[in-house]
Chain A
Amino acid sequence: KQEVTQIPAALSVPEGENLVLNCSFTDSAIYNLQWFRQDPGKGLTSLLLIQSSQREQTSGRLNASLDKSSGRSTLYIAASQPGDSATYLCAVEQGSQGNLIFGKGTKLSVKP
Chain B
Amino acid sequence: SQTIHQWPATLVQPVGSPLSLECTVEGTSNPNLYWYRQAAGRGLQLLFYSVGIGQISSEVPQNLSASRPQDRQFILSSKKLLLSDSGFYLCAWGRAGTVNTEAFFGQGTRLTVV
Contact = CB atoms under 8 A, between A and B. Distances in A.
Contacts of A97: 32, 49, 51, 57
B34 A44 contact: no
Interface in B15-56: 32, 34, 36, 41-46, 49, 51
A96 interface: yes
Contacts of A41: 108, 110
Interface string A79-108: 000000000010101001111111111000
Interface residues of A, number: 27
Chain B interface bracket (under 10, 10 to 19, 20 to 34, 35 or more): 20 to 34
Interface string A4-45: 100000000000000000000000000110101000011111
3 closest Cβ pairs, A-B complex: A44-B105, A102-B44, A98-B94
Interface of B: 6, 32, 34, 36, 41-46, 49, 51, 57, 59, 90, 92, 94, 99-108, 110
A49 interface: yes
A105 B43 contact: yes
Contact of A98 (B34, B90, B108): B34
A102 B43 contact: yes
Contact of A100 (B46, B106, B110): B46
Contacts of B108: 41-43
A57 to B, nearest CB: 11
Contacts of B90: 43-44
B44 A99 contact: no
Contacts of B101: 98
B102 A91 contact: no
A63 interface: no
A70 interface: no
30 contacts: A4-B43, A31-B100, A34-B102, A34-B103, A41-B110, A42-B107, A43-B90, A43-B106, A44-B44, A44-B92, A45-B105, A46-B102, A46-B104, A49-B100, A52-B100, A89-B43, A91-B44, A93-B100, A96-B99, A97-B51, A98-B32, A98-B49, A98-B101, A99-B34, A99-B59, A100-B34, A100-B36, A100-B103, A103-B43, A104-B43
